[in-house]
Amino acid sequence: MDEKQWMQHEVRVLYEILQAINSGLGQQQVLNILLGRIVTDLNYRAATIRLLDQEHQRLDLKAAVGLSEQYLQKGSVDVAKSGIDQKVLAGEQIAVTELKQETRFQHVDAAIQEGLVSMLAVPLSIYDRVIGALHLYTAEVHEFSPEEIAFIAAIANLGAQAIQRSRLFDAFQSIARNVNSSLDLREVLSKLLSISVIELNVKAGSIRLLGPKRETLHLAASTGLSQQYIQKGEVKVAQSSVDQKVLHEGNLIVADLTDQSGFQYLEEAQREGIHTVLVLPLRAKDTMIGVIRFYSGKAREFTSEEINFAIAVADIGAIAIENAKLHEVLKQRLAALKEDVDGWYQFLAFS
């Protein structure tokens, strides 16, 4: 195949991948098509897509083509043990001509046994943030050209966009379904937190609501926190400058829990393994009703996209709280009305 034919082949592969992304197929189907087109049409041996679990610093398998079940079952990639993936997660593209000579590859023995010889590893990037890695393998010694690397990198970025778009859509769909499926406030808020913690890839989350006197923040729901931490006590607004700022000024990121961070239960949070906290207000119309917190066990930054997602979650949570309160008021009024009606029936019966 000459250079012109190869370029035409690449354009066709790219077109088919774009069609799959824009077709409305599910995320897994899109990724399978993406990897399938790369492996089958461009004559590689195998390919994988792994997504970064930032909280646990590992790369979890999301999609694979051309690899045996035995190889795939070797487990997640520990970033600390994979020098190649450390570079990829820093935004580099790494081409390895012979894997058997590569000391930076975590599962090199398994790769040799699988018959994998050369490898290209490129980042999956959204804007300036790397969310995972695409690994491409050959069955023979192969020198990856700059043009080849650039093409695979472009496909990887398309895959990253497809992943991010469907993740947000799926997360919001799931939250909306759960909010509308129950009027049990604790159940609704717990599900909302669980979905959000997974989407934001953080350690834990909690929702606290202001008491009648607006002096304390009472725990309404939590996920991922130990019972010891949960039972540490109520949050007193006067003793938590973090919550004071959030309730008066809006969103706040506590990048590092120190004596100056304004956290009321600092020592308890440090023992819990909390490092970074994203705190947002819960607002019903123009009234602050509480806060939602997302806790990370790692030092990390939250992207504008993640913060916007968290803001939307906070808005949905506030609506759920108001709906539950309205439902409770209606129940009480219906109960009172029933008592009144029963009383009139009894009065009329004995008249």
159: which 2 tokens?
């895959």
Average pLDDT over residues 289-312: 88
Q: What is the mean pLDDT of residues 227-234?
A: 89
Whole-model pTM over 0.85:
no
Q: Which amino acid is at 288?
A: M
| Rg of the chain taking only CA atoms, in angstroms | 26
pLDDT at position 19 is 67
- pLDDT classification of 4: cutoffs 50, 70, 90: low
Res. 248: pLDDT tops 60: yes
Read off the amino acid at residue 167: R
pLDDT score of 14 more than 70: no
CATH architecture of structural domain 182-339:
2-Layer Sandwich (3.30)
Domain 182-339 in the same topology as domain 3-166? yes
Average pLDDT, the chain: 83
Q: Fill in the amino acid letter for 27.
A: Q
Query: What average pLDDT does range 4-30 have in this prediction?
Result: 67
pLDDT at 24 over 70: no
Tracing tokens 């937190």 back to the chain, one arrives at 193
For the stretch 147-186, pLDDT in tens is 889 888 988 888 888 787 777 667 777 777 766 666 677 8
pLDDT of 123 higher than 60? yes
Q: At what angle do helices 185-200 and 146-181 cross, to 10 degrees?
A: 170
Mean pLDDT of 267-287: 90
Render pLDDT for 66-111 as a digit per residue (tens, 0 to 9).
Answer: 999 999 988 889 999 999 999 999 999 999 999 988 888 888 889 9
Mean pLDDT in residue range 102-124: 92
* pLDDT-above-70 percentage for the chain: 82
Asked if residue 117 has pLDDT above 50, the reply is yes
18: pLDDT confidence band, cut at 50, 70 and 90? low
For the chain, give every domain's residue range. Answer: 3-166, 182-339
CATH number for the 3-166 domain, one of 3.40.50.620, 3.20.20.70, 3.40.50.300, 3.30.450.40? 3.30.450.40
For range 315-323, the mean pLDDT: 82
Highest mean predicted confidence (pLDDT) among 89-98, 122-131, 311-320: 89-98
Q: Regarding predicted confidence, which is higher, 286 or 49?
A: 49
CA separation for the pair 197, 193 (Å, rounded): 6
